[in-house]
Every structure is written in structure tokens, then in C-alpha cells.
Amino acid sequence: MHIENHQLSHAKKIVSPNFNDRPDENDISLIVIHNISLPPAQFSKDYVSLFFCNQLDSNSHPYFKEIDTLEVSAHLFIRRSGEIIQYVPFNKRAWHAGKSSYNGRENCNDYAIGIELEGTDTLAYTAQQYQQLAQVIQALIQKYPYLNHHSITGHNMIAPNRKTDPGEAFSWPLLSQLLESHSI
């Protein structure tokens, strides 16, 4: 797995309109892990891609009426099967973190890469997701000099009173173990 022109080689590409330029294109210094499922706790549909591309039909599900005006994206989405979809090039600012702060630094979207896992706070993630996530993180660390194993956090840590993902079901020890085994 490698990155060329700020795109992940193994990812399916779907372009989201929900991004803009970073204040400093070279300041990529944080990886934020999220979870998403649309409708909540339902998997394997294309609703996340439609949502990230502002094409979600709010009449398809009652929950969609609550989110249909939001303009959201992530750089990557890792499905439960391990499939990876890239919506925004890594050198651009995806709109995934919202009001956020990391180590006293505001506006995490400015300098973070957002990775969404298909899931919920309370449902275990799949082995394929952990494997792909570890490989993606290693590729990002290899490509972007300000990233390392200590610059990875959850959405809950950068927006603690607002967000809970990736949730209690996410195994930080397992991710750490996989990163060690994939270390270069």
C-alpha cells in the first residue's frame, strides 16, 4: 500500500465536494479515527458515500432528515469488509472533525487526516478493518513527515463533549499491536 499524488493506491476513489485547501498543505500532523454507519448500526449500503457527496435522499430513512443539511467528508472510509474508499486527497482539508482541539491546537481539520470506520461505538470492528487501518496508517507515516505512532487519536479525544467515536468497541491496544507488527 502506498500513496501517490496524495491518493492511496489501494482505495476506490469517490470525489466528495466537502473539502477545501488546508492553511498549510504540508502540515499534516494528526490522524483522527471516527466511525459512521447510515442508517445507524446498518452496514453495507452506499449511504455513507451518498452522504459524503451531498446526494443522500432524506426520504430514504427517517434519520436522514436529521443530517441532510450537513456537509461532511472524510479522507478515507474503511468498510467492514476492509474495502477502502477515498473521498478527499490527503493534502486537502476534509470536513470530518468539526469544532475540535488536539493538544491545545484548534481546528483539527486544518492539519488532520480523517479516517472513518464503518461501525458504531458499541459494535466490534472487524479484523479486516484493523488490518487495513494499520496498513493505511503506516503508509501515511511513511509519506508525511509530521505523522508518527503518537499522532493518532479518536474523534472523542478532539471533541470530547460532542463526540464519542470510535467508541468503546474500538481496540486501541490491538491497533497499537498491529502498528508494531507493520512497522517499517
List residues with catalytic annotation.
Answer: 116
The strand pairing partners of 94, in sequence order, are 19
Q: How far apart are CA 171 and CA 178, in angstroms?
A: 11
Show the cell assigned to 96: 470530518
Query: Between vectors from CA 123 to CA 150 and to CA 180, what angle results, nearest 5°?
Result: 30
Phi, psi of 92 (to 5 degrees): -105, 160
Q: How far apart are CA 21 and CA 73, in angstroms?
A: 14
Q: How far apart are CA 12 and CA 164, in angstroms?
A: 27
The answer to whether 112 and 159 are in contact (CB under 8 A) is no
Q: How far apart are CA 76 and CA 18, in angstroms?
A: 13
